[in-house]
Amino acid sequence: MTTTTPPRSAPPPLEVEDLDVSFGGLKALDGVSFTVDQGETVALIGPNGAGKTTVFNAVCALVRPRRGNVRIAGRPAPPTARLQAAGVSRTLQGLGLFERMSVLENVLVPLSGLRAPARSAERAHTTLAELDLAALADRPAGTLPYPERKRVALARALVTEPDLLLLDEPAGGLGETDIAALAETVRAVAGRGCAVLLVEHHVDFVMDVADRVIVLDFGKVIASGPPDRVRTDPAVEEAYLGLEAAS
């Protein structure tokens, strides 16, 4: 009788294990662990100062943990400059656009190292079209209204076709129509197999797009699970002073 070895499953795009980060005498993260699987959208929520952005910075190697590990697709997280090559892309709270450059030029920036300019331009135009930005390709980014600039920043993150997308408050400053469009985009990105980790204060948006929600408070995970279950968790309500009030 012969037996077959089952195929080994691929490691998740992101693994955070027992992460401990301190700044001076202040502990920002205390034993934080979670994973984000392929095609999954995971949201980090919690009060201001809970440690959400510190998690992002640890994943991006911008802060060095005292303890714990961050693995990207099963390997130790690379230095910041090599994240894109590892399939990781991130948006910033402050957008970080080059305001005098055109929308197209901004989106082409992450592709500047590629040796196929025609392929880069094709990918950039496709990404702009997907985010309804094609008509604005030649406009200076700094002349656009804030919601359009947010979309340009998202396009710049998506143009590299990442395996792991980190979204830092993507719904911040947007109205209901733009948030609904953003939710559709996030679902489409995850539907293509990209893992999405987002930090967000807009709780209705989180509950709409997240497959799983992780709640931080004082650097610790106090709840984790499907949105509906987390939303009614007494510990979350106590720490967050009511999720609805924070949305």
pLDDT at 194: 97
Task: Using the 3D structure, point to which of 155, 190, 206 is the last residue of a domain.
Answer: 155
Task: Using the 3D structure, point to which of 155, 179, 200 is the last residue of a domain.
Answer: 155
> What stretches in the chain show pLDDT beneath 70?
1-8, 113-116, 240-247
Sheet with 67-72, side-by-side order of all strands: 26-36, 14-23, 67-72, 75-76
pLDDT at 246: 43
Q: What is the CATH number of the domain that holds 82?
A: 3.40.50.300
2 part of a folded domain: no
Both tokens assigned to 110: 């992450």
Task: Tell me the residue range of the domain where 213 lies.
Answer: 14-87+162-246
Q: Give the integer Cα–Cα distance in Å for 225 and 67.
A: 24
Task: Using the 3D structure, point to which of 155, 186, 205 is the last residue of a domain.
Answer: 155
pLDDT at 26: 87
139 part of a folded domain: yes
* Domain identity same for 148 and 166: no
* Domain identity same for 78 and 40: yes
Q: Which amino acid is at 102?
A: S
* Domain identity same for 119 and 184: no
pLDDT at 4: 57
Both tokens assigned to 85: 């090559």
Q: Around 8, how many Cα atoms within 13 Å sit in the side-chain half-sphere? A: 3
Number of domains in the chain: 2
pLDDT per residue as tens digits for the range 123-134:
999 999 999 999
Strand locations in 37-163 (E) = 41-45, 67-72, 75-76, 88-90
